[in-house]
Amino acid sequence: MFKSTNQRDMAKTNETHSPEQLNRIVAGTKIEGVIVSDNNIRIDGTVKGTITAKGRLVVGPTGKIEGEVICENADIEGALTGTITVNGILSLKSTARLECDITTKKLAIEPGAVFSGKCVMGGGVVKDMKQSMEDQGRQRVQDSSHAQSKER
């Protein structure tokens, strides 16, 4: 008749989207395309494309990403080629191999990690992707208008 507290808590957890939920791409899996998630993602396989996660991205030792990554926090143990933008903390583990440009608020690098690329650190870095694209569009219009006014 009455559910125990534990059963009620489990039911609540299953009903809502929690950052503790995990999407997993296992070793031996290859994906090409765009991945968008409101939750955490763990990559042990291979992804070629764009990954956007509102939660934590974990790239395991066998994980490989080629493309663009935007996430809240990240722990990298595997390989990444391209760009990564992290709003919180980016942690490069000793087995990490990165050939990419990094934009992050905070960076932690363990001895043994290999990084080749550009790194920009500072305040909150991840903008809403739609807002960022709108800003870029406005800048192009302004640049175009400025160039036309100089021609006159």
Higher pLDDT, 14 or 22: 22
* 12 in a structural domain: yes
Q: Is 136 contained in some domain?
A: no
CA distances from 60 to 35, 132, 134 (A): 17, 29, 34
- The pLDDT of residue 11 is 45
Average per-residue pLDDT for the chain: 81
**Within-domain flag for 61:** yes
pLDDT digit string (tens) for 94-150?
999 999 999 999 999 999 999 999 999 986 444 444 454 455 455 555 665 555 555
Whether 138 is covered by a domain: the verdict is: no
Position 133 scores a pLDDT of 45
Whether residue 145 is contained in a domain is answered as no
- Whether residue 150 is contained in a domain is answered as no
Distance CA 85, CA 77 (A): 16
13-22, 62-71, 107-116, 141-150: range with lowest mean pLDDT: 13-22
Q: What is the pTM of this model?
A: 0.69
Domain extent for 13: 5-125
| Any domain includes 19 | yes
Whole-number pLDDT of residue 22: 82
Domain count, the chain: 1
Q: What percent of the chain has pLDDT over 90?
A: 64
- Residue 135 covered by a domain: no
